[in-house]
Structure 1
């Protein structure tokens, strides 16, 4: 792996200028005491210029110019555009801080994972619950306890519910792929480290974009997940509950994405400096893409 020296202050560039980049990525990178915010590139130069000015950095008109000035790149783009940029950045020797889902096809996700491994660069995929301190600690404690029998997850988002005015509702890929692909990675990123690898799954459609998943895990436990972005606002909410020999455990509340993103930056730096892959890396995100693809196909045939 291309090891980042411990004494080197890393430079991180941001690729993407949408609401998620402006509200989470850019503020977290700008506020991080251990990195330099090298600059911003976006497919709309005027948006890149505005975000760079607001973040105290510079905009780049050419992606390769930004990559030349970075040790690592944070990507805030639609998943299949992200995959192309991530492969390009990895081959340029840049460590990768990516978003979920890694891609919406298994082939594209595998290309990212293999490019990162082939180039010897570190990768972290930002599944929020794996990096928010409250939930990350809970996941590790539950994993260490073991003995879980059943997991129950529901993530009822109201992004497309009546009266929603969220800026993320304008995202074409979210409109096309729905809650399965948008919030599904969050749920799976919690269930897999606690209950083990998924050995079988089935899925069915519900109202709007709702998907119901039933999973069997290598530990012998089973879990269910209900995922949507189209719930009525009064019905919205997220919860994950485990039942087992330790009793009942509820996923705690977390404080939002910006703090968690700062911890994801820390995780990327640790992986880049030690050569030890992060558990939530591109290879793990490839596995999530495989599971979501299978669930989508099974629900379509149900």
Structure 2
């Protein structure tokens, strides 16, 4: 499968690019970015070609991977689907329901495969945990606490991310939290099943009611100090109490390699992956419902 990369930022440099160069079933076709110099530098480092236009790259590829802000990604992904490219998308697929629905419709109309890279759903340890809990009955409640110091004083590759500063942890790590809770607990009942409140900084507190009858809570922040950072997920019910295991060290390259595997398999068999664009759409719909419930002066 000839796969191109759209984007040149930290995620492309640290994760997507190295994984595409390494994957045994992928031919890394090339890179396009909004900054031509950065595209040329990344392509040179990874031994591939820099493209002058996104459409030229799409024409040369069977599939494309995205390392772009969500509202840049969505319209480009519509163009990629129309060009017949399978899609390896980043989360969230978009930050508006309209854009996410347009993308899902374009993917369906073109008949292309799609996978959304929810990192924890492709890391072996955490993916196995989600699968095991999704096969159990009787869950009563779950919670995800995601305390990140990206804008709380830590020096990270993402501390200069404009879209993360604008949209906050809700839209950046909220998708990860939902990707852990929705498989075992089921979809939420609708906008009436959402309660939301603001905390300090960009912190958001969310309570959800699921169609299974279970409830869940999310606390999400990118503005805690490094000494207060942590990621925790927990489920409680008839099976007892279970917590998300830690991922092995090594960053996100290994999970992204597994996401490429998933896209190749979905394209080959025609069987949708559980983390396809339609799941990505549902995540955007839920996050938009949460945002709508936040106090207007803080949106």
The verdict on a shared fold, with TM-score over 0.5 as the criterion, is yes
The SS at the match of 2:245 is coil
Matched residue, 1:172: 162
TM, length-normalised to structure 2: 0.96
Supply the distance in 2 between the matched residues of 1:140 and 1:236 (Cα, whole angstroms).
26
Distance 2:217 2:55 in 1: 43
In the TM superposition, residue 300 of structure 1 has moved relative to its aligned partner by 2.3
Structure 2 CA distance for aligned equivalents of residues 237 and 204 of structure 1: 20
Please name the residue that 1:78 is paired with: 69
Distance of 1:130 and 1:267 partners within structure 2: 11
Q: Which residue of 1 aligns with 2:38?
A: 47
2:177 alignment partner in structure 1: 187
Which among 273, 293, 296 is matched to residue 278 of structure 1? Answer: 273
**Whole-angstrom distance in 2 between the partners of 1:52 and 1:168:** 21
Aligned twin of 1:222: 215
Instruction: Report 1:1-302 matches (<5 A).
Output: 10-162=1-153, 164-199=154-189, 200-255=193-248, 256-301=251-296
SS of match in other structure, 1:168:
coil
Aligned pairs, number: 292
Give the Å deviation of 1:167: 2.3
Residue 128 of structure 1: how far off its partner (Å): 0.6
CA RMSD, Structure 1 to Structure 2 (Å)? 1.0
Q: Distance in 1 between matches of 2:6 and 2:179?
A: 24
- Partner of 1:226: helix, strand, or coil? strand
Counterpart CA distance in 2 for 1:261 and 1:239 is 22
Match of residue 5 from structure 1: none
Shift of 1:254: 1.0
1:6 alignment partner in structure 2: none
The alpha carbon displacement at 1:85 in A equals 0.6
Structure 2 residue matching 1:50: 3-state secondary structure: helix
Q: What SS does structure 1 have at the residue aligned with 2:39?
A: helix
Give the structure-1-normalised TM-score: 0.95
Distance 1:194 1:80 in 2: 29
Question: 164-173 vs 97-106, which deviates more?
Answer: 164-173
Q: Distance in 2 between matches of 1:93 and 1:173?
A: 28
CA distance in structure 1 between the aligned counterparts of 2:77 and 2:159, rounded to whole angstroms: 24
Unaligned runs of at least 5 residues, structure 2: none
Which stretches of structure 1, 4 residues or longer, exceed 4 Å deviation after superposition? none
**Counterpart-to-counterpart distance in 2, 1:300 and 1:15:** 35
1 CA distance for matches of 2:229 and 2:115? 29
SS at match of 1:293: helix
Secondary structure of the residue that 2:68 maps to in structure 1?
coil
Cα distance in structure 2, aligned partners of 1:148 and 1:28: 36
Per-residue deviation, residues 40-79 of structure 1 (Å, max 9, x unmatched): 0111111101100111111111212111111000011110
